[in-house]
Amino acid sequence: MKLCKTIADLKVEISSAKASGKTIGLVPTMGALHEGHASLIGAAASENDITVVSIFVNPTQFGEGEDLDSYPRTLDADCKLAEGMGADIVFAPTAKEMYPSEDMTWVEVTGDITKVLCGRSRPIHFRGVTTVVSKLFNLAEPTRAYFGQKDAQQVQVLKRMVKDLFFNLEMRIMPIVREADGLAKSSRNTYLSPAERQAALILSQSLKKAEEAFNGGEKASSKLVEIVEAHLKTEPMSDIDYVELLQLPDLTVAETEIKKPHLLAMAVRIGSTRLIDNIILG
Ligand code: AMP
């Protein structure tokens, strides 16, 4: 496996892969890789000739007071995991490499799709994501790009961007990988103390409650949201940022009675750690 730290190094690899007609799978990540990332890398490796994993803690998607500085950085371990899952190239650029000048071009998806859910408390987040992912698409020239359903809003925003900007690639979305007890795997889980780790189970458990109610015949969207909120509140360490049920794919206001696929998504603080989780109903 090759580690490319500069755009120039990556370009050499991509040009040679393209010249020999190889397909390229791109897995954009911020590193601190875990089994969730591993599932994306494994899928990319099985569906493409060349698998590129980018590892970049993207400063433009972090707001003031967020965890940009404390975000875990574990490049050596990440390279081992990526190689073990079949990656051919790890692209780990510096911020200067990706953002050479303070005057810069933004790629921004406008409208409610970026304003609801995480967009409410993280107003600049998705502009940072779409900008960096556009740069990565242009650099890695992927045939297919791999993202996790864990970041459900990011998936819908990026799909919109790909459609609107005519990016010539296939978006591949992988299911959420969870710990045995249900907690969605996340690089941010390392912030949790043992007591917080236990308390964090309330996220997946409350989604399960809603799913059970839905499967048992409860179709009223307001009732389903209520069930989740009520269960989250039974955990004293939880502090709800949002619980929302929205129509897919555009994340518009839910139907009163759920008849087609909806996203039930939440962000909850456990101590000082903000965690997200979601399921699709319908
Ligand atoms: P991140 O490094 O957190 O930016 O995540 C990089 C990619 O891995 C994103 O597409 C995430 O949605 C995906 N991902 C993160 N955690 C999981 C998980 N538990 N299951 C599936 N995909 C995940």
Residue 262 a catalytic site member: no
**Residue ranges per domain, the chain?**
2-174, 187-281
CA distances from 142 to 66, 102, 121, 167 (A): 30, 27, 31, 10
For ligand 1, what atom is nearest to the CA of residue 178? 19
First to last CA, the chain: 42
Residue 57: the pLDDT is 98
Q: Is 188 in the pocket of ligand 1 (CB under 6 A)?
A: no
In short, whether 132's Cβ falls inside 6 Å of ligand 1 is: no
Q: Which tokens in the block code for residue 271?
A: 């101590």
Of the listed 34, 37, 125, 231, which one is catalytic?
A: 37
* Closest approach atom of ligand 1 to CA 188: 3
- Quote the ligand 1 centre to 35 CA distance (angstroms): 9
170-174, strands of its sheet edge to edge: 2-4, 89-91, 50-55, 24-29, 144-148, 170-174
Say what the pTM is.
0.97
Asked whether 147 lines ligand 1 (CB < 6 A), one says yes
The confidence score (pLDDT) of residue 49 equals: 98
Task: Assess contact for 176 and 150: CB atoms under 8 A.
Answer: yes
What is the CATH topology of the domain spanning 2-174?
Rossmann fold (3.40.50)
Question: Separation of 215 CA from ligand 1 center, angstroms?
Answer: 27
- Summarised one tens digit per residue, pLDDT across range 84-132 is 999 999 999 999 999 999 899 999 999 999 999 999 999 999 999 999 9
Q: Ligand 1: which residue has its CA nearest to atom 11?
A: 148
Q: Cα of 37 to ligand 1 centre, how many Å?
A: 5
Stretches in the chain below the pLDDT threshold 50: none
Could you tell me which residues come within 8 angstroms of residue 208 by beta carbon, excluding any fewer than 6 positions away? 182
pLDDT at 41: 99
Q: Which residues of 190-200 are buried (b: 16+ CB within 10 A; e: fewer)?
A: ebbeeebbebb
Domain 187-281 has CATH 3.40.50.9100: no
The Cα–Cα gap between 195 and 237 comes to 9
Q: Which amino acid is at 84?
A: G
Confidence at residue 125, expressed as pLDDT on a 0 to 100 scale: 98
**Pocket-testing residue among 29, 35, 122, 154, ligand 1, by greatest number of atoms within 8 A of Cβ:** 29
